[in-house]
Amino acid sequence: MTNATVSPDASVAAAIAADYLGNPPVRVERFSTGIAHWVYDVEGLGDLRVVVKLGRPEQAEDFAGAVHWTHALRPIGVPLPTLLASGTWDAFPFVVLERLPGTDLGAVFSSLTRAERLHISGQVWQIQDLVRRSLAHGRTFGFLRTPDTKGRDSWAGVIEDSLRRSELRLEQAGHGRPGAVARLTKCAHSLDAYFARVQPVPFLDDLTTKNVLVHNGSFAGVVDVDWVCHGDPLLVVALTRAALLSGGHETSYADQWCHFLQVDPEQQAALQFYTALFFLDFLSEIDQPLNREPAKPRSSTWDRLEVMLNDAVNRC
């Protein structure tokens, strides 16, 4: 039996694919994006392609969530890939998925015209609106792998969790506690009244510059829904803005969502805070192994993110 500290690899993906396809795959290639799981693009005989997604044993709940939400979201019209198989292989949880055409938005963003970006943005927001209208509000807040998952009792608790996670990662990596943590904590408290009014609205928090597939300049579908967040939909707007800015891109793709949401001045303040929160999160991922061995080393990325973080905090 596999030890929980051991990570899956391409050989595991190949064995699962061979079992599903009935023949050994002719190509197994890991996707370069993502920080949580191990995801492989697999080609079988006759150009048959599937995706094999794997996790460590302690990530089994993520895969149970992926199965649950695939079955819940596809029938209401969310264009997720078909779930072909699921289970465990030598204790590694896995799913086998249909291979949708296309590439992550972030990988092709620079090649898209402004009109193409805004059209894709509108289609993704239609999916978010569909989820909001079709699913019941959560009983609790946060990233729920099933509707019955016990989350946080308040939205402020979800925000506190994010701050503390980033702070812990920075300390574990030997970076100490940046002054931005204390300043962001203060900013969070200034939004307590706003957070208290947030309802547990369902939305897909990770449809950002990743998990949105683009094919020949057009929207092709979405992937990687292991949970549904319940809370303030502005969170995904902020994460997308932070991802775009950190990649050196303009933000009209995400800013259009503010128009759809009719964001008021108080929400704009929350959006600015959330954006700073994600810059801190990105910073805390540096020097963390996550699903990569070895960890990505500190580089010029650190300095650039630190400037963005401080600028965003100053705007809070």
CB 187 within 8 A of CB 162: no
Helix (H) or strand (E) holding 228: strand 228-231
| The pLDDT value given to residue 177 | 61
pLDDT value at residue 61? 94
Task: Write the CA distances from 106 to 34, 86, 190, 213, 249, integer angstroms.
Answer: 12, 28, 33, 9, 10
Average pLDDT, the chain: 91
CB 237 within 8 A of CB 261: yes
Its sign, for the CA torsion 67, 69, 70, 72, is: positive
Count the neighbouring beta carbons within 10 Å of the beta carbon of residue 197.
9
Choose among 105, 305, 58, 285: nearest CA to 212. 105
pLDDT computed for residue 1 by the predictor? 37
Q: What is the structure's pLDDT at 315?
A: 86
- Distance, in Å, from the CA atom of 155 to the CA atom of 234, rounded to the nearest integer, reads 12
Between CA 108 and CA 106 the distance in angstroms is 6
Domain boundaries, the chain: 10-98, 103-315
C-alpha distances in Å from residue 305, one per residue of 43, 48, 94, 309: 37, 41, 33, 6
Instruction: Give pLDDT, residue 7.
Output: 87
Q: Is the pLDDT of residue 4 over 50?
A: no
284's tokens: 């805390």
Q: What is the pLDDT of residue 3?
A: 43
- pLDDT tens-place string over residues 130-177: 999 999 999 999 999 998 899 999 999 999 999 999 999 888 877 766
Closest CA to 145 of 213, 60, 209: 60
**Which of 121, 153, 110 lies closest to 247 in space, CA to CA?**
110
pLDDT value at position 223?
96
Name the residue with higher pLDDT: 240 or 284: 240
Lowest pLDDT segment from 68-82, 168-182, 237-251: 168-182
Stretch 93-110: mean pLDDT, rounded?
A: 96
Res. 56: pLDDT tops 80: yes
10-98 and 103-315 in the same fold: no
* pLDDT (tens digit per residue) in 245-270: 999 999 999 999 999 999 999 999 99
Residue 12: band (very low, low, confident or very high) from pLDDT cuts 50, 70, 90: very high
- pLDDT category, 302, cuts 50, 70, 90? confident
pLDDT of residue 45: 81
Reduced to 3 states (helix: H, G, I; strand: E, B; else coil), residue 103 is strand
Q: Which residue has the higher pLDDT, 42 or 316?
A: 42
DSSP helix/strand/coil, 176: coil
Which of 218, 176, 197, 189 is CA-nearest to residue 264? Answer: 197
Q: Which is nearest to 134 in space by CA: 83, 80, 200, 203?
A: 203
Average pLDDT score over residue span 101-105: 95
Please state, in angstroms and rounded to a whole number, the distance separating the CA atoms of residues 5 and 289.
12
pLDDT over threshold 70, residue 294: no
As a whole-number percent, the residues of the chain with pLDDT over 70 amount to 93
Instruction: Output the CATH code of domain 10-98.
Output: 3.30.200.20
What's the pLDDT score for residue 171? Answer: 84
Q: Report whether pLDDT(280) > 90.
A: yes
Structure pTM? 0.91
Gyration radius of the chain over CA positions: 20
* CATH T-level topology, domain 103-315: Aminoglycoside 3'-phosphotransferase; Chain: A, domain 2 (3.90.1200)
